[in-house]
A and B are shown apart, each in its own frame.
Chain A
Amino acid sequence: MNSKLKKTLTPYGYLLPTLILMTILLVIPIIMVIRYSLYDNVIANKNPAFVGLANYVTVLSDHDFWNAIGHTLFFVIISIIAHMLIGMTFALILNTRYLGARTKGIFRAVYALPWMFTASVIAITWRMVLDPNGVLNYILMTLHITSEKITFLASRDIALQSVTLINIWSGYPFYMISILAGLQGISPDLYEAAALDGADAIHSFTGVTIPQLKPILISLIMLDFVWTLQQFALIWMTTGGGPVNATETVSTWIYKQGFTKFQYSMASTGAVILLIVCTIIGILYVRQQRAEA
């Protein structure tokens, strides 16, 4: 082998293990799911027939699926906004010069705590907190804020908001830690220059902090959008998509199609639709990263 060819092939040799793994774990499953979505019920039916885009027509004309999309959008958008606000607030508190290093350390550990728990621990903990006989109802009734027990997860009117609250609690530390890292990277000179120009705290925040954090914030929003869109475990373990379908999201809809109705083609179709949305966000994310670079 001549040295030129060897030089050309060497990088591909280094890439090969990763490419093989990605093909087995990512490309093949995705192709299989896309293929399943084009057939009349696969797996349950040993000789499935090719039906083209018929499954997509069925899914996109299913009222329950659109209902799930509505809930998913509420869940995702409110979660992202709350994650951003809480994460930013706590990051600013942890970055302030008015707190000592030890105090900051304690706050940092406490604020980051929700991120350390697995979805099952979070679900069990919050089910106990929100139970009609749970801690939150006890506090509310003791303080005479309410005279009757509130069924946070059992009421069709507030179950989605309750599940969103749980997701907000479990997800804000990621924002907090990322924003805190960004804040610590902003040069103090910029704040000094802003102060010399007569900027108060609010102007410094909007004129210096936000523009400097912009790349991080955009990345956070895009990643959070994709992660929250796919959130399944938390919803499944707290409400299972109910009562009735009050907290049904696209991920729980897909699970039910596959594992309780055994409609694997429909589940695959739903999964492909979700994949398309996530891919679009992924492309935007990559473009944004490239633009920043």
Chain B
Amino acid sequence: MKAFAKKALVCAAAIAMTMGMATSAKAEDVTLEFQQWWGVELPDGALQEICDGFTAESGVKIELLSNPYADTKTQVAAGAATGTMADVVGLDGSWVYDFAKQEAIANLSELMTADGYDTAQLSDQIQYQGNTYMIPVVNFAYPLYVNMDILEEAGVEAIPTTWTEFLDACAKIKENTDKAAYCIPLSTEAPNGIQNQFSTWLWASGGTLMKDGKPALTDNEMLTKVVDFFKTMKDNGYLTDGVEAMKEQDMVNEFENGRLAFMVDGISHLTTIKTESPDLHFTYAPMPKEDSYEGQSGMDVANWGIGIAENCEHKAEAMKFIEYLMSPEVNAKLSQLANAFPGNNTAAPDYSANDELFLTAFEIFQNGYAINEFTGAPTAEDLMRSMNEQLILYFDGDTASVADMLTATQTAWEAAYE
């Protein structure tokens, strides 16, 4: 009996060791696919280096699938439809509602709770029906870019701080130069001009598009003023020619080529603009406010968000990877490399190597509050597109009044919220 017990003990130990080895081998065998657009926008090899750090720490391999933003969106949407999404996906806040509703992305609240993860350190969480589905890894602010040479040529002495001053500056630019004053890209293909170059004026003056999480476009006094403000710019020829077919990159090209005095754009483009147009004399400024508004300004932010596919077979490892990216050190490094603000409140990026203008933008950002009402909204891109179309119809005179324009947009938006 003793011999039998000994044999059984040895067998049990052998099985336990084998199981243990199998378990440790299993972690090393796991490879997570990470689909995102970040790798394309970061310096060459930077994201791979960060992911290699996770592999060294955990043994889990990360396979990067990096493509430009638009391609990533199409591929993630196709993956969501067919259940073949990459394990970990880069997300934009405007996609979250639809993918969460489709149950294509995993409930991170459950995974964070299971891991005992402290969510207090996160700057934000994008939720659907009370559960988190996306965590913003880094945030990009959208300040006002100002071409100082055009202002000087036009005889504009100071950067405008109110709408009246801005329109005065536009008038001088039109009169004294052959440059455009402002640009709102309104291409139907990528209608995010409504978010970044239009709504940003509303948010800067304390306005909102939503009330209690629902569209509130009609009888919205500040929004009505913003639409009229844009109509004035359009009618007076202050906007770049052909905005109806322009994409954000076209606007950046116009600015880089010194043909545009003001633009609202993400600070992620700072390095590109500095590299491609080293002689361009420009600065960042806070968004001009509506003349009577004296409160704090909201600043449009976009983010590199992250989520886990519902079809991921290694959700626990995927969550560990997210926790790694959100750890103060890694998050700080990623923020510094991306010219962005950290998604972890405790991260302290060393921006000393970043451009001086970045620090200016950081200061502007800190003086206001971050806002983006399209984040987490249903079919957010389609909401932007319907407002885009209504704005063009109003520009062209097909819609009689701002009230009619906003009523038509409200009707289209309400359909998405049903």
Contact = CB atoms under 8 A, between A and B. Distances in A.
B244 interface: yes
Interface stretch (B6-14, B333-341, B342-350, B378-386): B378-386
A156 B393 CA distance: 10
Interface stretch (A106-114, A147-155, A173-181, A216-224): A147-155
A9 interface: no
Contacts of A239: 187-189, 245
A42 to B, nearest CB: 9
B98 A154 contact: no
Contact of A242 (B77, B244, B379): B244
Contacts of B103: 46
A43 interface: yes
B389 interface: yes
Interface string A101-129: 00000000000000000000000000100
The B interface is mostly helix, strand or loop, or mixed, namely helix
A123 to B, nearest CB: 10
A285 interface: no
Nearest to A131: B242
Q: Which 9 A-B pairs have the closest CB atoms?
A: A240-B189, A242-B188, A132-B241, A154-B242, A240-B188, A243-B244, A154-B244, A154-B245, A153-B245
B contact residues, range: 20 to 34
A42 B98 CA distance: 13
A95 interface: no
B315 interface: no
B101 interface: yes
A65 interface: no
Contact of B389 (A44, A244, A261, A264): A244
Contact of A261 (B74, B80, B245, B379): B379
A46 B187 CA distance: 33
B105 to A, nearest CB: 13
A132 B245 CA distance: 10
Interface of A: 43-44, 46, 127, 131-133, 149, 151, 153-156, 159, 236-245, 256, 258-262, 264
Contacts of B187: 239-240, 242
A260 B382 contact: yes
B102 interface: yes
Contacts of B392: 156, 242-244
B308 interface: no
Interface in B73-111: 74, 77, 80-81, 98, 101-103
A242 B190 CA distance: 11
A104 B81 CA distance: 51
A24 to B, nearest CB: 14
A275 B41 CA distance: 39
Given A44-B98, A245-B389, A262-B379, A154 B188 contact: no
